[in-house]
Amino acid sequence: MNLIVLGVFVLSLALIFFRNFFWNISPWKVMASASFILVLTDTISIYEAFSFVDWSVIGFLYFMFVLSKGFEESGFLNNFLAETLKYFKKPFFIFLGFIFLIGFSSALLLNDTIAIVGTPLSLLLSKLNNINPTPLIVALLLAITIGSALSPIGNPQNFIISSSAQFSGQNPFIVFFKFLAIPTIFSLVILAILLWIFFPSLKNLTKTPLRTYSKSQDYLAAKVAFYSLILLSILKIFFNFHLFFIAFIPAIVYLLLTSKKHHAFAADFQTLVFFAGMFILMETVFRAGIFDLFFQSKDYLSNHFTIIFSSLIFSQFLSNVPFVTLYLKAVNFLDIKQLILLAASSTLAANLTIFGGASNIIVLQNLENKARFPLKEFMLFGLLITIINLFLILLWLNLF
């Protein structure tokens, strides 16, 4: 066993694990430094480092970042959400429609994008109707996470799981929808009912936002790209092509049509560096036999409750993406139901604490000097809806 690999691995996990308590080192810097040390000490070669990276994941994320930037800056996504809400007339259905729009948008786009666009929409709804924004913000936070668990492109960890060797031969969209569609729909409805009961002010929710953006060239480019994304997601159900193309083709279409070509360089490159470094570190650790040291017996890791509790706990500290990558490396014999449970529980961990998901931090930052972040309400309803959601998922999985 390579002691350098073990030392780099333990130190990297410690730096990420305790980043919210003792120091504030960006996770991308940790992963980049770990990879650099492994190459510098000749533990792995530069060629091996590049070969360890799953470039389809990096490419998928890059093009989704480009799309997200276009959807956000053109005003298309904000307008799409506002325009759709106008079809709901009664207060409860406006609120339910808001939750479903946020949830299903998160299933198609990266949840960070919905967090960016959804925060001002929540505040606008509360201002238009003269109500406390707390229930709308709580609904936004929880619906983003619940909805993003629904599809293989809803968040990075789902994409990694659906692109893994253990998922080979399966249609990711069909599998995710088969096992998660019904629990997700019920969970979103229950979330709406719970918040409706505990926040009577929602009964005053009668007005919805109007269109605020003109149909510029960039708006139309984003619109064509958005519907291309939906079309490709539907086609994926019937045809066998890599998930990467669901982001690649719409992003290329957008860049060809938009006047803002600089969006090609507007991706979150720090996140991309984090993912590349993570792949290098985890593959090096796996090949060095470190996992055999930590997991002498791996059978218990495929247990449903082990998957759930380890996902909920460790995703708070390691972040859900490194946790999922680590789990997939440690346990290479998970069946489809166990993979779906890993995807769902690692995603839903974001509804337990503010540090469980990046979308929570984005909403927190966007609320600064505008409204109070409802931490107590978020954690209370987050815990409740996570228990309900996971119970429904387990119940549904047992029917197959």
Per run of 10 residues, the mean pLDDT along the chain (length 400 residues) is 82 76 76 92 91 90 88 83 84 94 89 84 88 94 95 90 83 93 97 95 85 76 92 87 90 92 85 89 83 62 87 83 84 87 94 83 79 89 96 93
The pLDDT of residue 278 is 87
Q: Are 135 and 209 in contact (CB under 8 A)?
A: no
What is the Cα–Cα distance from 307 to 152, expressed in whole angstroms? 18
Prediction pTM value: 0.85
327 C-beta neighbours (distance < 10 Å), count: 21
Q: Are 67 and 29 in contact (CB under 8 A)?
A: no
343-357 burial code (b ≥16 CB/10 A, e <16): bbbbbbbbbbbbbbb
What is the Cα–Cα distance from 271 to 364, expressed in whole angstroms? 19
- What are 156's two structure tokens? 């990075």
- What are 40's two structure tokens? 């510098």
The pLDDT of residue 94 is 93
- Residues contacting residue 176 through CB under 8 Å, at least 6 positions apart: 150, 151, 152, 158, 162, 340, 343
Question: Side chain identity at 384, as an amino acid letter?
Answer: L
